[in-house]
Chain A
Amino acid sequence: MVPVSALARNLLTSIVTVLAVIVFNFTLIHLAPGDPVTVMVGEMGGGDPELITRLQQQYGLDRPFAEQLFTYVLSVLTGDLGFSFYYNMPVLDLILQRLPATLLLVVSALCLAIVIGTALGVVAAQRPRGILSHLITVISIAGFSAPVFWVGIVLIIGLASALPIFPTSGMRDVTNIGAGIWGDTVDVAYHLVLPAFTLATVYLAQYSRLARSSMLEVLSADYVRTARAKGLPERLVVYKHALRNAVLPVVTIAGLQFGQVVAGAVLVETVFAWPGLGRLAYESILRRDSPTMLGILLFSAVIVIVANIVTDMVYRMIDPRIGARA
């Protein structure tokens, strides 16, 4: 089905991309003023230069740039993402510890956005010039344009502070320790509502616009006209004949967006104190914790690449014309 040569070429370009990402990120981080030791010792309110020098030596930050880069690339190639200066633990452990929270948040938000967004798009497409359609357009564009942290804060103030329906932040009620699996699941789900909804507002607009335009296109196709001419009920025409074909681009976008899990979650996780990778990224940037920053960037680059390869492969399977051209 999928030609082996195409797979091999994909893998080869991926490896080159990953290497380029490592070198680029490493250089970029070194250009930022301040190294982790300056921040660490500075944050402690202390300025003992001997301590600074000793720590810089211990972490190898006194070595020439090229040597540091070489050492880093070498250790990454052997599967070692390094040791976090700030958090005092291996970067890989740190990332794996935070990954589940981010996956939960992003997957929930994506599902929410896909279901609501597509539904809104389909509704809007049926009467493209109706009031409802315009309203949906305005709402989706507003959701897409409003800064996500602002949406988050407004939701916290509205639905967690003024009307204390949902918790303000965190992934669990901290006093609820040892609640058991069922109690914990309910607790996490309750804490998930606001952050997932906030993150979904960003994605939602894309799905509703995409579903709307693709529905409009499909609805004007010949086979839809035939179906209507046959006298099929409108509901059947829209939801059975048209929608199936219209959601294909939606699936593509979902695949690509999944690759950007970390990028999407940084602000939402920070506002809601969600203990995920995005917040870890933000905190490690503030602390100039270069091994952690590099680890997260590398990790998200790999996710993007894998998501792209998978999408590509799926395309080849669905549409034989792509394979034939290659």
Chain B
Amino acid sequence: MTISVFSLNRRRFVQGAGLTAASMMLGGLPEAYAQTKGGTVVIGHTTLRHLNPAIQSGQATGIPGTQIFAGLTQLNDKFEAQPYLAKSWEVSPDGLTYTFHLEENAVFHDGKPITSEDVAFSLDVVKANHPFGKPMFGTVKAVETPDAKTARFVLERPHPALMSALSPLLLPILPKHVYGEGDIRENPANLKPVGSGPFKFSEYRPGEVLVLDRNENFFRPGRPYLDRLIFRITQDPVVNVLGLERGDINYLPFALVRVSDIDRLKANENLTVTTDGYEAFGATNYLEFNLRHAPLDDVRVRKAIAHAVDKDFIQNKILAGHAKRLDGPLTESSPFYSAESLKKYELDLEKAKALLDEAGHPVKDGGMRFSLTLEWLPDANINSQQPVAQYLKAQLRQIGIDIVLRPNPDFGSFATRIGNWEHQLTMNGIWNYPDPVIGVNRAYLSTNQKKGAIFTNTEGYVNPRVDELMIAAGGESDPAKRKELYAEFQAILTDELPLLWTNEEPLFTLYDKKLQGLPLTVWGALAPYDEMHWA
């Protein structure tokens, strides 16, 4: 036993020495060799449907999906597109044509080359099947394929958000020869995917484990560093955290931990706790007013409620300082966030009461003015929805608004109620995504009141000027002018308060201290792990 282990080590050593000699002969060490190669990372993961991110959004499919599938570009930490499968691109001066040049030697895991036909096919699939297909690619009239390595996107009108929608999460490049036949929703390759990303599919046991192995033919030389990614699947988030503390799990993105546990986890010398790497998601939390419901249709009532809330208390006490207060529709990390145009509402109970008196809601017998029902989903935004809802009940009582708390039993019930506008008040939150066109517009466009669908304009907000601004900004190619349009958008919304934004939702990543090269760009865990390695 001892002997065989020894001889294996010696063989490895000899191979390693040979490789070093060879690379030195080729002129210095390649950058990749500076990193420790090999090793396995165990990732704590949740139940997933299948492994085709083109037709399934969200992190359960997206985290392994971005390892299996490559995209045209990646975003850096300033939300700027960087080359990925597209080694370069040109944008025509009118902003209507984007020409992408694909990496010459990029191949799918089955060895077939990646062509512009695959790009055109993938875009069609996403446009038709992804929940954000239309806001992301609705303006793309056609994808022309002048040759196998050139893909030309022809747009109906300028659409600057396009560049942030080309990452592997949102536009994974699928091989047409695998996914092109029949109904894509029932394609067997959804459970046995073939992509071109740094890791390739190896084994999936539903409810138990997903294994991805190093893609030996990845077009970036020497990458990825790791040999294997193992996704340990569990439904109970607590079990994942315990597994991490024991060292069974090395990397836990989107860790569902309560802020009260963070200090304990930070005290663990083997672990790193971070909230970096979630900038592109822009996770928000807010109190939603159903504007179809009196007295919430009166802006004075909404402002009164806003003045009864101490957002600093929410930030510093409820969230223990792990997330920022939120005063408008955009999170602070968004390139279009404009602090100076936000109208902020600070705690002022007297002003709140005066506003309610003025709106014609005097205090009645029992000290209350009127009663409202506040809903939430206990599983969602675990650190803020329930605690903030309970805090609001206590605060609003002080200005004479009686709040009846109504937690929803599960997502199905919640989505149905809110989607059908059956609520008065609800805690809710959307992810803003890297561009407002993708994640923000849906909540405020008057045309996006779609009964039956949650995460739309469920509050029933209608303002033609706001619609105009969103549409104009979506088509504005000049970043400075675009930012101005969004500044006005933020000013109007924070003055009219269709929602009372309370806080950004803290998202945590926990990982083994010895793990290096983690993707902490704006897409975080939903970026390729080709640089991840063990120290």
Contact residues of A with B, CB < 8 Å?
A: 32-35, 38-49, 51-52, 58, 83, 86-89, 94, 97-98, 153, 156-157, 160-161, 164, 167-172, 174-175, 177, 270-273, 275, 279-280, 282-283, 285-288
Contacts and interface: CB of A to CB of B under 8 A. Distances in A.
Contacts of A83: 186
B246 interface: yes
Contact of B58 (A43, A177, A270, A283): A43
Interface in B168-203: 185-186, 190-191, 203
Contacts of A48: 131-134, 450, 453
A275 B207 contact: yes
A97 to B, nearest CB: 7
A217 to B, nearest CB: 43
A172 B431 CA distance: 35
A285 B245 CA distance: 30
A87 B455 CA distance: 23
Contacts of B132: 46, 48
B130 A46 contact: yes
A47 B456 contact: yes
Contacts of A58: 185
A47 B134 CA distance: 11
Interface of B: 40, 42, 47, 49-50, 56-58, 129-134, 185-186, 190-191, 203, 205-209, 211, 230, 232-236, 238-239, 242-243, 245-246, 248, 410-413, 415-417, 419, 430-431, 442, 448, 450-456
Nearest to A55: B185
A47 B450 contact: yes
Nearest to A39: B412
A33 B243 CA distance: 35
A41 B57 CA distance: 9
A164 B203 CA distance: 28
B373 to A, nearest CB: 16
A174 B211 CA distance: 9
29 contacts: A33-B412, A38-B412, A40-B49, A42-B419, A42-B454, A43-B411, A45-B131, A45-B455, A47-B448, A49-B451, A49-B453, A52-B453, A87-B50, A88-B50, A98-B206, A161-B242, A161-B246, A168-B242, A168-B248, A169-B242, A169-B243, A170-B209, A170-B234, A177-B211, A275-B205, A279-B235, A283-B207, A283-B235, A286-B412
A280 B207 contact: yes
Contacts of B245: 161
B412 A288 contact: yes
A172 B56 CA distance: 28
A275 B205 CA distance: 9
B208 A168 contact: no
Contacts of A171: 208
Given A45-B430, A49-B452, A98-B207, 15 more contacts: A32-B412, A33-B416, A42-B419, A43-B58, A44-B58, A47-B419, A48-B131, A161-B245, A161-B246, A169-B239, A177-B203, A177-B209, A177-B230, A273-B234, A273-B239
A42 B209 CA distance: 25
Nearest to A273: B234
Given A47-B450, A168-B248, A170-B234, A156 B208 contact: no
Contact of B246 (A34, A88, A153, A160): A160
Contact of A282 (B134, B235, B242, B451): B235
Nearest to B50: A88
B209 A172 contact: yes
Contacts of B416: 33-34, 38
Contacts of B246: 160-161, 164, 168
Q: Which 4 A-B pairs have the closest CB atoms?
A: A46-B131, A34-B412, A47-B453, A273-B234
A47 B207 contact: no
A38 B47 CA distance: 18
B209 A174 contact: yes
A164 to B, nearest CB: 6
Q: Which one of A45, A271, A285, A286 has the greatest number of beta carbons of chain B within 10 Å?
A: A45
A32 B417 CA distance: 12
A46 B57 contact: yes
B232 A174 contact: yes
B492 to A, nearest CB: 23
B47 A88 contact: no
A125 B465 CA distance: 82
A51 B205 contact: no
Contact of A88 (B58, B191, B205, B453): B191
B232 A170 contact: yes
Most B-side CB within 10 Å, residue of A32, A38, A164, A171:
A38
A41 B208 contact: no
Given A47-B131, A170-B234, A271-B236, A279 B242 contact: no
B489 to A, nearest CB: 20
B395 to A, nearest CB: 29
Nearest to B450: A49
Contacts of A45: 57-58, 131, 430-431, 455
A204 B231 CA distance: 35
B136 to A, nearest CB: 11
A88 B190 contact: yes
Nearest to A276: B207
B209 to A, nearest CB: 5
Given A43-B411, A47-B131, A273 B233 contact: yes
A40 to B, nearest CB: 8
A170 to B, nearest CB: 7
A52 B232 CA distance: 31
B454 A273 contact: no
A85 to B, nearest CB: 9
Contacts of A164: 246
B235 A273 contact: yes
Nearest to A270: B235
B236 A273 contact: yes
Nearest to A83: B186
Contacts of B431: 45
A295 to B, nearest CB: 15
A169 B234 contact: yes
A46 B170 CA distance: 13
A172 B205 CA distance: 11
B206 A46 contact: no
B452 A32 contact: no
A222 to B, nearest CB: 54
A172 B456 CA distance: 42
Nearest to B210: A174
Nearest to A37: B452
Contacts of A51: 129, 131, 133
A164 B247 CA distance: 11
Contacts of B419: 38, 42, 47
Contacts of A272: 239
B415 A34 contact: yes
